[in-house]
Amino acid sequence: MFKFHKKETDSIDNILLKIPIFQDITNRELKRIKRILHQREYKKNEVIFNQGDIGLGMYIIVEGIVEIVCGPERQALAELKSGDFFGELALLDESPRSATAVTKAPCEMLCFFKPELLDLVKRDPKLGGKILFKLAWTIGERLKRTNEQVKETGYAGKKEQLNS
């Protein structure tokens, strides 16, 4: 369990409950989840994981800023801050990471790793099922958003071609 003061624990609870994967869980279930999360600290400009690495789990930003970049030219895909999360696909899939995550400021994170999720599913199937369902829903929502962005980008590119 975390060794946080009450104020810090309340802040962590608030962050976790805003993450779709942990919504709709009871206070008792939240305490159980907190026991299996890992706390990590990263320095500014530290790589959390590289594109191509095998994913081990998801990361929740408690404090700090993380940039998600892709390709050798490190094209910025997203900038994430306190309360945001990333890498959740690794909880379901063992495929290589599709992007690199690097800190833009010192960061404090909570990490939820696949072995702990699998153990939770075995020990508490009801809670594990809730989390897996919300995880699938979250990934589906992100896929829909990505599809919309691709459509908009594709449409904008075709419009430029027509106008030239």
Most confidently modeled range among 11-20, 99-108, 134-143? 99-108
Task: Kindly report, residue by residue over 30-76, the tens digit of the pLDDT.
Answer: 999 999 999 999 999 999 999 999 999 999 999 999 999 999 999 99
What are the structure tokens assigned to 128, written together?
């594990």
Q: How far apart are CA 60 and CA 15, in angstroms?
A: 8
Task: Kindly report, residue by residue over 78-122, the tens digit of the pLDDT.
Answer: 999 999 999 999 999 888 999 999 999 999 999 999 999 999 999
Q: How far apart are CA 105 and CA 22, in angstroms?
A: 26
Q: Which residue, 85, 101, 83, is CA-closest to 42?
A: 101
Three-class SS state of 33? helix
> Domain residues of the chain, as ranges?
6-157
Q: What is the largest CA-CA distance in the chain?
A: 61
CATH node for 6-157: 2.60.120.10
Helix axes 27-36, 125-163, angle to 10 degrees: 80
DSSP for 73-126, written as a single string: TTEEEEEEETT-EE-GGGGT--SBPSSEEEESS-EEEEEEEHHHHHHHHHH-HH
Residue the block writes with tokens 């709709």:
24
| pLDDT tops 90 at residue 10 | no
pTM, two decimals, is: 0.83
